[in-house]
Structure 1
Amino acid sequence: MIKPLSITLAIAAAFPQVAVAQEELTRVVVTGSNIRTTQKEGASAVQVLTAKELAATGKVTISDILRTISANSGNSYNEQYTGSFSAGTSGLSLRGLAQRNTLILVNGKRVSSYATAQNLQEVFVDLNSLPMAAVQRIEVLKDGASSVYGSDAVAGVVNIILYKEFTGTEVSAQVGSSTEGTGQLERSFALQTGFGSLDDKGWSVVFSLDGQKRDKLQQSDVSWLRSSDFRGNPNGTLGWVPTNYYGTSDPTKLLGGVQGPLQIQNYGDITPGKSGSVLAYNAADYRTLIPGVERAHASLRGTLKLNENTEAYAEGLYGYSWAEQTFGAPLTVGSGLRAWNNSKQALDNINVLLPVGHPNNSTNAPQAFTATLFDLGARMKQDKVDFYRVLTGIKGSWNGWDYDASVARSGSKLKETVQNFVNRYEFEKVLAEGSYNFADQSKNSEAVRNRLRLSTLRPAEASLSVVDFNASKELLQLPAGALGFAFGGQWRQEEMDSNTSTAVLSGTELRPAINIIKGKRDVSAAFAEFNVPVLKDLTVNLAGRADHYNDFGSAFSPKASVRYQAAPWLLVRGTVSRGFRAPSLPEITNSTSVSYGSVIDKLDPITPTQPRGITNLTVANTELSPERSNNFNFGVVLAPSSNTSVGVDFYRIRTKGVIGTESADTILANEKNQPEKVVRDAQGRILTLYRQYANQGERLTTGIDLDLRHKLPKTSYGNVTLNAQLSRVFKFSQPLSTGAALTNGAGTNYFGSIPKWRGTTSATWELGQWTSNAAWNFVDGYDQTTRAGEHVKPVATVDLNVGYKISAATSVNLIVTNLFDRKPSWDSSFAFFDYTQADPRGRFASIKLNHKF
């Protein structure tokens, strides 16, 4: 594999060295500041994705575009994370610092977080709820901006800017399918229309509508995954699940025989070192890789010019999302079966014993057993989400001041339904009366099956109310230029009410999953900013923000930045800032979570080399302090010609008091010292891990970003534009346990997969009626820390978008994702591949038709 740096240097070496052309620049506000300037490149690194660049990708969602940027190092999730309380969503994690540290704005203003938390504690904005058709450009600020925007901008800011004015109507339709025989289809459409003109008529209205429908992709649909036979890979085994046996520790004591999906398998193929035969099933039949989705988004914005200096505006956003997936195989009953006891706020153990006289018990004593209730059907889940934001404001100029004031209300509402879960009380009844046959489930009546089946509804809701004001002015003329000043304030109220089903609260549901979050907070802030021209080519920016949270206290975030135009072809820039992240509502308020994960437990008597399903009980901590960060950024931008720029930016983020829980691997490694955190059954198999949020220690992240852009001179062969954005992580260090020394996780999966290199390099070629774009996407490999000596290989894919302009108004595009059908790299900790870094669909081809009226 060619390293990205080699390609970067090759492109840079090819850039011609010619004089810089001067151009007239309009004063604009760039993400990361409240002061208008004419500087094309500011003191902070901002990646701008223009409408033309967005269209060139051929992607139909904001999520698909943003998740390919190089600064999205790791620890971000999209709908491939099907084992989530936030299934069907997609977030972004700049610098690998988790979704909760990346602020998502729409038109420079906040939107509501998703209705519930990702990974129990991550409050984040769901990119799948935002409209793609209305996007004019996206600005990605890659340094900390707590001093301007607040607590959740430690890693950076993504500002999604929608059209303020649009003339005419544009419609498009796209249909695509996997070429690899998975049967997965994807259909989408988009409409954008606009009326009026602020300059000519004094008003404008812009409306957009887009929609998407995509079929569900099961593991059994993918040829190289459907067998679950990974024995040809490092630490790979036959990924079948032993079940239906007497007792709790020896699956060779068969309960019944082949039935439903059960087959006889060699125990040693599943767990190396074991002997004998077991009944097992292929988990691929019950695993959704990508949910089936239906989505629709609408955006409406109106602007009215009240006079030459004043505009009133209003906008509404609405997003509907429905995601459907196979939650998992039918429930397995046996050791460790639990139900929730709400009065004790704990889990009750459910006895799983065949009573004397039961058709499956030929002994004279109650007998323990393990069995999967296949005849009840796979457990299914559907998530329906309604998102909205309504906003109105006024902006303009008065007495030399530029101002903007607005009020907004935003929310996200989730309804999650599940089917074929199991009723605890009916299970206890049929077990006691012997009316359910575990050994031969074909003998069970449909009436008994229906008694056991349980369907539930889980509601969750988040809301955000915001009042914003900011104003800026050139206070006076200094010898080197105008002294710019901005100030403002914000009040917002955040609320989250994530509940669980009544069946869980009543103790009715077996093996319940719980993510209860109930909290509300008020946040008030005041901020100020100065832009000081020290010399003609040297500008210093000073900013500060004071935030007050009614649930933990106050914090102040200062920032200083320097921009030095050392030569017409050389810009030097740097920023120093302090930031903080307030404890999230799930971390600090009334919050209880029961979740299910897996660990590789070398002490497990049945599957010591395979992931073992366990229960996590996690609780909030009202004594948490905020995370405090120190950010440093330094960069240079070289512009050897008007068509060429080379940017190199170094970043360093040190965070103290990082909030989290110890990993399962760490808890098991320290089990002798803290046995109360691990609960095992009588056979020694893990049942439960107990966790609580805490301020655990420091985290240090360092790296560089490279941004290369070059446009070749126009020739008879057309126009060619080259772009490359590459990121290199030097350090991603934090302690493996509270109080331990820092461990560098860059290039490993100690703290989630953090590849050292990530990047996208693209070339666009325009010739006559033809436009082509090829993008090379690279994700570096990393060391697998739970399996000594295993290295996950790098992956590089190529996307191609070829368009032809049929007429001045109509065009057609062929879009191929993963042109060369590269498979994700094997990662034994995920049983096949890391879904945060790769996509299992293989080559995917689409046709898009676009027409302008």
Structure 2
Amino acid sequence: MPSRRSQLQRSPLTAALFAALLVPASGSLFAQDVNADQDTPASTQAKNLDRVTVTGSLIPQTAVETFTPVTVISAEDIQARGFTSVTDVLQQSSFATGSIQGSQTSASFTQGAETISMFGLAPGYTKYLINGRPMADYPALYNGSDTFNNISGIPVDLVERIEILPGGQSSLYGSDAIAGVVNIILRKNMDGASISVRGGTYTDGGGDSGRITAATGFSTATGRLNGVVGAQYENSEPIWGYQRDITKQFYRNGTSAPIASRDWLVHSPFTSYNFMDPNNCANVTDAFAGTVDFRSRAGFGDYCGSFMTPGYRTLKNGKDSLQLYSHATFDLNDNHQLYADVLFSKEEVKYHIGSNYTWWGTGVEWGYFYDPDLDDLLNLQRAFAPEDMGVGGFENSMEKNKTESWHVTLGSEGRLGASNWDYDAGLTSTHYKLDEQGFARLAGPINDYFQEHVLGPQLGWDPYYDNYPVFQPDYAAFYTLMSPEDFRSFTGYTSSKSKTTNNTLRLQFTNGELFKLPGGDAGVALAAEAGKEKWDYKPDARFATGDIWGTTSVDGGGQRDRYAAIGELRLPVFEPLTVSLSGRYDRFEPKGGEAVSDSTYSLGVEYRPVESFMFRGKYGTAFKAPTLADQFQAASGYYSFVPDYYRCQQLGFDPVNIDKCPGTFSNRQFFGTTGGSSDLESLTADVWSAGFVWAPLPQLSLTADYFHWDIRNEVGQQNASGLALREMRCRTGEPGYDITSPVCVDALSKITRDGLERITQIYTPKVNEAQELLDAVNVSANYVWNIGTYGELLFRGSYTNNIKHEFVAFEGDETIDLIRNPGWSSDPKSKANASVTWKTGNWSTTAYANRIGHTPNYRARVVETYDDPLAGKLDPFTTYNLSVSYTPLEALNLSVSISNLFNDMPQEDRTYPGSSGAPYNSSQYSIFGRAIYFEGRYAFGRK
């Protein structure tokens, strides 16, 4: 390939930025060698630059700083800061201010997947690239409704760098690039071979892990074939709730006394709890490790239960994963090169949704039954204990997600003859397969078992309603443990299979020297794409037939063709001023649906009044097309639980005291329905950013950028709990809730109640009406300090603050302030991180801090205001990592890293009630605690 090196002497601003990028934070043996004398400051090593393509532009250029504020996290940063995975890197980014569902969110639709929320926007609003090409969508739906990317299966030890580009970027990257773009760049060359071995554990227990990575570069004798191949294998154990003090039992320091779980309960809608055990719980006291006993709840009655059942769920998933990666190039001649990228990932993630979801009751099959001896309608409710399951306990009922994904790109790049035009033609194919193996209670066998062993034969129908079956149960048999054989007789596993595929052919032409302008060479890039997307979700057939007890599933599938045309023009108008223009047209043609097309554009400006200072700004539009799930998700049902706020309010229990409301209303099971729609339109947005880069010294750079989003026509599934809460406020006429307003009319129309005014069904469709306004600012700093014989210090910091975030659910509704209304958002207003690396001789040490700003406490989230006496904000939460790296030999590097050095836990939130088994905001905070990792890396061929 012809050399395209530019020997321009860059400004102090460029030197300072490159110093921050090139100074190694640890002795990573996978990193490329920097051929420079150790005594030479990094700032002087970075002045002669190649033209490179950076995220945010298609045109190669020598400038590091442009109108797009790209944050770069290198492989050395990842190791030095104690990050354990790509997910860890991105979730600790200062841009990741939003709440997310993950391993700590029991029974979510995608508990086995990992993602982030940039600036508090939906996870699906971030575009993810691997080596510049879009990742495959995860086959399951976030929150049962939204398409997103699982960032779990990427080999962190094979990452060269991660580039984060905040703000709307659809004019170059198309749909989904609303919050920003994350480009994960894997290694493309390497001298020799390397192997690394890493092991770690959490000091509070659980989560033991081991990882081994091997990689080697290769080249033929002629030098025409070059590349790298690598593999990473990792195994980690789960963390269980009982391994952490805050989650092992019901909360003891809350606004109410702890309430033991109702593990063996006989309940009536008229007489509340009925205690029917002639042995006073003696036959079940061994359950849950001997913690079940006779319990009494004032105002309700007696039952058998435990305070320790919250501990029987996983907080961190167990994982067994393998990734294989290869990049290769072959020079056909001086002007043309073939290239290939292949990334394969295979994972098995295991977790447990918890004892709260592992139970049986008569309500699902019969509603209530009539006991003639008591002349009452009753329900039986029975939890399954680890002792029912045999040796291993709850590990015998773990859920498993098995995934396989491929990301393959084949192509050719080079130069057209003797011209200045470069081309890149490539085909990218992504495939993602998911097999969700869910623990299931089999409807027929489980009901037959309890009818045979407890209920007895049906004796007719009740004398009052002629609707409820009559049973005379053997209550002594109900209050007993069962054998593992009996438990296995009515349980098993479901297998729901889903997949996504995306094949894209892309052709791009680039000319970095189109014509001369006073400020330099103008550049242009023109590209065209054509592709086909498919999504298919096939739940286990037994969900549809009702053979799985108490559970349904989401299904659907569809495909569409996609076409796009992209153009970018970079104009150095004169020495201080550069203007960039880009535009894109996308068209989606779904099979069996209406076509959707969108046009987006952007205008970027860079202005350098002096060498060390640059103003930058951008204005443009962005969009997110309806996903295949939005369009083709089948009308499907699901079971869930929701507080019946209206009935509880009638009984004198407001949302703050919902835990004191009778269980039949405070935790009401309902049947929900949702589905896709071919009438949905694209989300559209106006986006702009403005900021500056300042390098007052060659070793120092400062950046500040302001971002704005005006988002319209958002697609989303309505929240059932939110609908129930709004319905109560509309029915009771609370201030601000006019029953004739659009939001009230909507809420009342989507909730169905029976003759006793109890919630039975909730319709939570996808809608295309919400709007968001968001303003945020990001500030960062990098400083390199050469301290002579004592080595070198590198300081880095990044701070993000969401200044404004407003939301309107329906046209005509009042605007909701997501920053100041804690009932709608628990996101922190700010997030920051900082690190300092000291490198001297063979040693490198890094201290890293990550800070989450104030978040609302539980009381504020429930009452949706800070005016309540108990409502307030939790203190900022900061964790610290420390790593030490030592290179005794050129070929050997040894390191130890400690995550959460001081074993800090989120501030105790005493506004949680005693009925809570997880009194912390799991969508924002981790309670994993301190982890210690030891790692050794060896490079073969070095001495």
Relative to the length of structure 1, the TM-score reads 0.90
**Aligned residue-pair number:** 811
Report the CA distance between 1:727 and its aligned residue: 0.3
1:605-754 superposed matches below 5 A: 608-609=658-659, 612=667, 614-615=669-670, 616-671=672-727, 672=731, 673=745, 674-680=747-753, 686-735=759-808, 739-746=812-819, 749-754=822-827
Which position in structure 2 is the counterpart of 1:54?
A: 78
C-alpha distance in 2 between matches for 1:664 and 1:290 = 26
Which position in structure 2 is the counterpart of 1:522?
A: 561
Distance 1:744 1:470, change over 3 A: same
1:232-631 superposed matches below 5 A: 232-233=253-254, 237-238=258-259, 240-241=261-262, 243-248=264-269, 252-256=273-277, 257-258=280-281, 259=284, 260-261=287-288, 262-267=292-297, 274=299, 276-281=301-306, 282-329=308-355, 331-334=358-361, 337=364, 350-354=365-369, 362-363=373-374, 367-374=378-385, 377=389, 378=394, 379-398=397-416, 399-419=419-439, 421-433=440-452, 439-441=476-478, 442=480, 449-473=487-511, 474-551=513-590, 552-595=595-638, 598-602=641-645, 603-604=647-648, 608-609=658-659, 612=667, 614-615=669-670, 616-631=672-687
**CA-based RMSD:** 2.7
Distance 1:242 1:690, change over 3 A: farther
Which position in structure 1 is the counterpart of 2:463?
A: none
Which position in structure 1 is the counterpart of 2:191?
A: 167
Are the counterparts in 1 of residues 605 and 617 from structure 2 also a CA contact under 8 Å? yes
- Equivalent AA in structure 1 for residue 678 of structure 2: T
C-alpha distance in 1 between matches for 2:500 and 2:821 = 34
Distance 1:447 1:132, change over 3 A: closer
Report the CA distance between 1:362 and its aligned residue: 4.1
C-alpha distance in 1 between matches for 2:257 and 2:401 = 33
Q: Which of 632-641 and 58-67 deviates more? A: 58-67
Are the counterparts in 2 of residues 513 and 596 from structure 1 also a CA contact under 8 Å? yes
Distance 1:255 1:581, change over 3 A: farther
If asked which structure has higher relative contact order (CA below 8 Å, sep 6+), I would say 2
Counterpart pick for 2:895 among 790, 802, 813: 813
C-alpha distance in 2 between matches for 1:682 and 1:381 = 37
C-alpha distance in 1 between matches for 2:884 and 2:725 = 53
Are the counterparts in 1 of residues 532 and 562 from structure 2 also a CA contact under 8 Å? yes
Tell me which protein shows more strand as a share of its residues: 1
Residue 59 (structure 2) pairs with residue 35 (structure 1): yes
Are the counterparts in 1 of residues 643 and 724 from structure 2 also a CA contact under 8 Å? no
Counterpart pick for 2:103 among 76, 79, 93: 79
Are the counterparts in 1 of residues 774 and 805 from structure 2 also a CA contact under 8 Å? yes
C-alpha distance in 2 between matches for 1:684 and 1:220 = 38
Q: Which of 837-846 and 647-656 deviates more? A: 837-846
C-alpha distance in 2 between matches for 1:242 and 1:736 = 39
- Equivalent AA in structure 1 for residue 712 of structure 2: K
Which position in structure 2 is the counterpart of 1:6?
A: none
Distance 1:364 1:624, change over 3 A: same
C-alpha distance in 1 between matches for 2:232 and 2:502 = 24
- Equivalent AA in structure 1 for residue 243 of structure 2: D
Distance 1:31 1:613, change over 3 A: farther
Which position in structure 2 is the counterpart of 1:208?
A: 230
Distance 1:770 1:389, change over 3 A: same
**3-state secondary structure, aligned to 2:896:** strand
- Equivalent AA in structure 2 for residue 457 of structure 1: S
C-alpha distance in 1 between matches for 2:481 and 2:320 = 38
Report the CA distance between 1:392 and its aligned residue: 0.4
Distance 1:477 1:227, change over 3 A: same
C-alpha distance in 2 between matches for 1:717 and 1:685 = 72
Identity %: 23
**3-state secondary structure, aligned to 2:551:** coil
Distance 1:567 1:593, change over 3 A: farther
Are the counterparts in 1 of residues 72 and 162 from structure 2 also a CA contact under 8 Å? yes
C-alpha distance in 1 between matches for 2:782 and 2:239 = 37
C-alpha distance in 2 between matches for 1:475 and 1:553 = 34
Q: What CA deviation, in whole Å up to 9, does each residue of 1:563-589 have, x standing for no partner?
A: 111211111000001011111222221
**3-state secondary structure, aligned to 1:391:** strand
C-alpha distance in 1 between matches for 2:224 and 2:454 = 76
Are the counterparts in 2 of residues 410 and 464 from structure 1 also a CA contact under 8 Å? yes
C-alpha distance in 2 between matches for 1:253 and 1:841 = 40
Residue 930 (structure 2) pairs with residue 849 (structure 1): no
Residue 833 (structure 2) pairs with residue 760 (structure 1): yes
Report the CA distance between 1:634 and its aligned residue: 0.3
Report the CA distance between 1:681 and its aligned residue: 6.0
C-alpha distance in 1 between matches for 2:698 and 2:370 = 83
C-alpha distance in 1 between matches for 2:258 and 2:779 = 40
Q: Which of 553-562 and 494-503 deviates more? A: 494-503
Q: Which of 113-122 and 29-38 deviates more? A: 113-122
- Equivalent AA in structure 1 for residue 320 of structure 2: E
Distance 1:247 1:811, change over 3 A: same
Q: What CA deviation, in whole Å up to 9, does each residue of 1:772-830 have, x standing for no partner?
A: 11111000122232245143332100011111112111121111111111112446498
C-alpha distance in 1 between matches for 2:824 and 2:414 = 47
Are the counterparts in 2 of residues 655 and 698 from structure 1 also a CA contact under 8 Å? yes
C-alpha distance in 1 between matches for 2:367 and 2:719 = 30
Q: Which of 291-300 and 832-841 deviates more? A: 832-841
Report the CA distance between 1:686 and its aligned residue: 4.0
Q: Which of 599-608 and 767-776 deviates more? A: 599-608
Are the counterparts in 1 of residues 618 and 690 from structure 2 also a CA contact under 8 Å? yes
1:124-143 superposed matches below 5 A: 124-143=148-167
C-alpha distance in 2 between matches for 1:81 and 1:593 = 22
Which position in structure 2 is the counterpart of 1:194?
A: 217
C-alpha distance in 2 between matches for 1:113 and 1:235 = 43
C-alpha distance in 2 between matches for 1:750 and 1:457 = 36
Report the CA distance between 1:175 and its aligned residue: 1.0
C-alpha distance in 2 between matches for 1:141 and 1:729 = 17
Q: What CA deviation, in whole Å up to 9, does each residue of 1:404-444 have, x standing for no partner?
A: 1111211111111123x222223443455455666545475
Are the counterparts in 1 of residues 515 and 521 from structure 2 also a CA contact under 8 Å? yes
- Equivalent AA in structure 1 for residue 90 of structure 2: L
Distance 1:767 1:241, change over 3 A: farther
Are the counterparts in 2 of residues 662 and 736 from structure 1 also a CA contact under 8 Å? no
Report the CA distance between 1:750 and its aligned residue: 4.2
Any stretches of 5+ residues in structure 1 without a counterpart? 1-17, 269-273, 338-349
- Equivalent AA in structure 1 for residue 413 of structure 2: K
Q: Which of 132-141 and 642-651 deviates more? A: 132-141
Are the counterparts in 1 of residues 67 and 616 from structure 2 also a CA contact under 8 Å? yes
Relative to the length of structure 2, the TM-score reads 0.81
- Equivalent AA in structure 2 for residue 195 of structure 1: F
Tell me which protein shows more helix as a share of its residues: 2
Distance 1:141 1:290, change over 3 A: same
Report the CA distance between 1:684 and its aligned residue: 5.4
